[in-house]
Amino acid sequence: MHEHLDLKRKKTYAALLRAFEALMKEKSFDELTVHELCQRADVGRNTFYAHFEDKYAFFQYYITLRKEQIEAVSAAPGDDFLAFRLRVVKELFVYLRDNRFIWEKNISSPSAWKLRDMMKDNVKAPLIEELTKLEQQSGRRLAVSKNLLASFYASGIIEVFTESLYNERIPEQQVLEDLERICALLFKDALFE
């Protein structure tokens, strides 16, 4: 019985994800309605609201899922914290570039700051957890505040991507190399006192 429910839930979520990405190519998040998302996904509104409070809760699910996928692709056996973070930055940048339609119609929308804050928090909270585990495992304290470091990192990634979206004179490879250097310096110097 649970397998049937899980399968049905997976199909519903997959349909909503496909519909969301298709609609985001056509319009801004502010213009998107739950009604048309459900209609495009062929999912009932009651079903949608049984799983999500509103379209912002769905967006939170969307970015959490994508972040988890990026982290799964970035993980490699025996990685240290810095190597993993560098791969995550690269994969995140590539994902944002390949899905720039989400940003292009939303950068100047009224919800832009809320969406950016949701993305920032989605990166920041797990990073704080990772840094806490790193401190516990090593028995040493970080040289800087975990909260500030995670905020700086999450905000920086989003701002660099936004800047590169508007300033295409900077070659993508240069942006990726610079991001790698910045993250290496940021985490290397911040990790331990």
For residue 37, give Cα distances in angstroms to 5, 6, 41, 61, 97. 21, 21, 6, 14, 23
User: pLDDT tens across 164-188, in order?
Assistant: 776 667 777 888 888 888 888 888 7
Mean pLDDT within 59-82 = 86
Tell me which CATH code domain 1-51 carries.
1.10.10
Residue 118's CB: how many other CB atoms inside 10 A? Answer: 16
Which 8-state DSSP code applies to residue 191?
A: S
Mind giving me the DSSP string for 90-125?
Answer: HHHHHHHHHTTHHHHTTTTSTTHHHHHHHHHHHHHH
Instruction: Scan for tokens 């649970």, then name that residue.
Output: 2
User: pLDDT tens across 136-168, in order?
Assistant: 888 888 888 889 989 998 888 888 877 777 666
Estimate the share of the chain in helix, then strand, then coil, as percent rounded to the nearest 5. 75, 0, 25
Q: Are 34 and 55 in contact (CB under 8 A)?
A: yes
User: pLDDT tens across 3-33, in order?
Assistant: 555 888 889 999 999 999 999 988 889 999 9
Confidence at residue 41, expressed as pLDDT on a 0 to 100 scale:
96
Confidence at residue 5, expressed as pLDDT on a 0 to 100 scale:
56
- Every domain of the chain and the residues it spans: 1-51, 56-190
- Architecture of the domain made up of 56-190: Orthogonal Bundle (1.10)
